[in-house]
Amino acid sequence: MISYGYSGLPPRGMTDGEFLDGLAEKGHQAFELAFTRGFSWKERRCAAFAREAADRGIRLSAHAPYFAVLTVADEDRARQCRAAIEHTVKLGAALDARTVVAHLGSRREEPPEALIDRMKRHLDWIASKVSDLGVGLGLETTGRVNHMGSLGDIALLSDEFPFVRPVVDWAHVHAISGGGLRSVEAFEAVFGFLRQRFPGWKIDPLHTHFSDVLYGEKGEIRHLPYGEGTLRAAPLVEAARSAGFRMTIISESRDAWSHDAIYQAISTALRDAAPGGEAGRAVGSGAVDLPVVPRAEETPDGYMLAGYDRKLRLSNLDKPFFPDGYTKGDLIAYYASIAGVLLPHLEDRAIVMARYPDGAEGSFFYEKHAPGHQPEWMPLAPLESAHKGKIDFVTARNVESLMWLANMGCIEIHPWLSRVGRPDRADFAVFDLDPAEGASWKQTAEAAELLGVALDRLGLAGYPKTSGSRGIHVYVPLDPVHGYGRVRRFVETLGRLLAAAHPGGVTMDRYIPGRKGKVFIDSGQNRAGATIASVYSVRPRPGAPVSTPIRWDELNRIRPEDFTIATVWDRISRYGDLFAPVLQGGQRLDEAEEALEIHPG
């Protein structure tokens, strides 16, 4: 739950391996490269250090030079600041770091609005250079009243830039609040603000700095040896456990003794807080490290979810659900953990449940009708079916809904392509690239690349995701003004053109034996009531793979098995929700139809 390390550089005369061995022997799991006064390392050195750190289970981060701030007005100096941050992020990529830390800078007696606008302009430039590297730019809270860097400032910038995250320097918050962090409740208030203002993937794990501090009326004066001031690690640890935060703590103390003392205080607090006070048992098996592990209390007929707003009865938590040993409880915990990213993609959509009562290797069935014993707090979506009349579909508006679905053995979640309010109008066109027998992942990636080029030529943005199995789904977000027939014609027409352009690799042949060795583009998914496995849905295959958004430029570098309920978290932490633009719509098919000579109606 809490990883600890400190900030600095390996001492001269010691090999990287010796230095990292020393960290590992002490139990440290993190280290921050302090490039605060300049760049003494190059990317090759960073990459070599990263390999040795990974071998020892040590997660790396980096700190940009102190002069590289975002509030600078002079353009020549601002250019140097931006270049320094860009370079640090590139070093961070070589270090395989999740976070590069930077300061915002002085207020310079200017209005906050003007400073925020200036910082956004600088971040626009930096984002154009590094936002695809998978390294978060961690903006650090300030410790001085004459500097920018409140959590509110950082939240404003984070709202606009996906690669920006908060870095909480507890000494700075303590100093600027006049020594306000003296109790568990004070730390909990900070965690509460973070959870309210930042998406979960930006604060899991939360990157933080820690040291004791001397402060005055204007904030921080200087670091102190641990114990000489009033900031303590124990209430921080207790508050983090209470709030359910995973966290990295980096000591920025000025002496080795303080690093060791802080680590000892954290270790003691963790040991003293270990199990006992929490209700019930963990839902998951512990076989996979998940951001959220709900707890449940045993009852005569199963378990009752503990610590959540809505009552939910759970059953058979230890039942094996995947051949790798993951349990039904692990599936429930996965959906609880992914809720913050997944729920926006399910909002106001009817859901078809793909239920596997005996796990991924057992028999399954699709269930459209709400079963009747769903919780009373779960809203239903009554929609007309051409064959069965009105059907009450389940929906998912909250984390408890997702856990209920998983408890029903619903491994896959299949939402409609349209919203409940406009069920006849699709929110996106879906290209389902399905490799037939004999077709490879390489062929599927090549077909997706060809589709990406075609969409770009038509002036449309598309967003690919792994199916979680062997295929690729490409979503084209649309304004909800197109009927399903119109969307299907567009997908089918473009699919046939791609098959004609690449007949050896792509097919639209509905005769299954005719698809052998090719990638089939299935346009039939674009019809009312048809569904496809949601983004972030688990698939019933070994390893519990997850349907995961990918970038166009990495189609040939990844494999669908790369992303599972155990491994998807690092990707989300690095890139956020790459499928978020799908929810924005903003596109219409008119010009593409004209280019393809499709006549509506």
Band of residue 381 on the pLDDT scale cut at 50, 70, 90 = very high
Residue 510: pLDDT above 90?
A: no
* C-alpha to C-alpha distance for 203 and 193, rounded to whole angstroms: 11
Confidence (pLDDT) at 566: 94
Mean pLDDT (whole number) for 213-238: 96
Cα–Cα distances (Å) from 401 to 271, 378, 408, in that order, read 34, 7, 11
- Residue 109: pLDDT band (50, 70, 90) is confident
Tokens of residue 488, six digits: 């299907």
pLDDT tens digits, one per residue of 154-182: 999 999 999 999 999 999 999 999 999 99
**Cα separation, 580 vs 583, whole angstroms:** 6
Q: Residue 142 carries which DSSP code?
A: P
pLDDT over threshold 70, residue 278: no
Q: What is the band of 377 on the pLDDT scale with cuts at 50, 70, 90?
A: very high
DSSP-derived 3-state class of residue 394: strand
Name the DSSP letter for residue 580: G
pTM of the model: 0.88
- The answer to whether 64 and 141 have CB atoms below 8 angstroms apart is no
pLDDT(251) > 70: yes
Compute how many other C-beta atoms are within 10 angstroms of the C-beta atom of residue 44: 9
CB 58 within 8 A of CB 23: yes
Q: How far is CA 154 from CA 159, 215, 307, 456, 560, in A?
A: 9, 22, 30, 34, 35
For the record, the structure tokens of 165 come out as 């995250």
**372 has pLDDT over 70:** yes
Lowest-confidence range among 17-21, 108-112, 376-380, 438-442?
Answer: 108-112
The phi-psi region of residue 544 (left if phi > 0; otherwise alpha if psi is between -120 and 50; otherwise beta) is left
For every residue of 111-128, DSSP letters joined together read -HHHHHHHHHHHHHHHHH
Instruction: Output the pLDDT for position 333.
Output: 96
The predicted-structure confidence for 384-420, as pLDDT tens digits, reads as follows 776 677 899 999 999 999 999 999 999 999 999 999 9
CA atoms within 13 A on the CB side of 492: 14
DSSP β-bridge partners for residue 248: 3, 207
Question: Is residue 334 a contact partner of residue 390, using CB atoms and an 8 Å limit?
Answer: no
Task: Express each pLDDT in 493-502 by its tens digit.
Answer: 999 999 999 9
Longest dimension (CA), the chain: 78
Q: Does the pLDDT of residue 275 top 60, yes or no?
A: no
Distance, in Å, from the CA atom of 194 to the CA atom of 339, rounded to the nearest integer, reads: 17
Kindly state the percentage of the chain with pLDDT values over 70.
Answer: 98
Average pLDDT (74-101) is 97
Confidence of residue 293 (pLDDT cuts 50, 70, 90): confident
Give the pLDDT confidence score for residue 564 in this predicted structure: 96
Tens digits of residue pLDDT in 350-370: 999 999 999 999 999 999 999
Handedness of CA 20, 26, 31, 35 (dihedral sign): negative
pLDDT digit string, tens, across residues 26-79: 999 999 999 999 999 999 999 999 999 999 999 999 999 999 999 999 999 999
Range list of H helices, 298-420 = 328-346, 399-407
Write 391-394 long-range contacts (CB < 8 A, 24+).
Answer: 393/350, 393/351, 393/352, 393/368, 393/369, 394/350, 394/351, 394/353, 394/370
> Which pLDDT value is given to residue 274?
53
Domains present along the chain, CATH in parentheses: 2-272 (3.20.20.150), 281-415 (3.90.920.10), 425-596 (3.90.920.10)
Give the pLDDT score at 601.
61
pLDDT tens for each residue of 194-214: 999 998 889 989 999 999 999
Residue 416 burial by CB count (10 A; 0-12/13-18/19+): exposed, middle or buried? buried
Region 505-509 average pLDDT: 91
CB of 411 closer than 8 Å to CB of 471:
no
Give the residue from 492, 559, 551, 1 showing the smallest Cα distance to 245.
1
Return the pLDDT at 485: 94
116-127 average pLDDT score: 97
What mean pLDDT comes out for the span 572-601?
A: 91
Return the SS3 of 83. Answer: helix
Q: What is the mean pLDDT of the chain?
A: 94
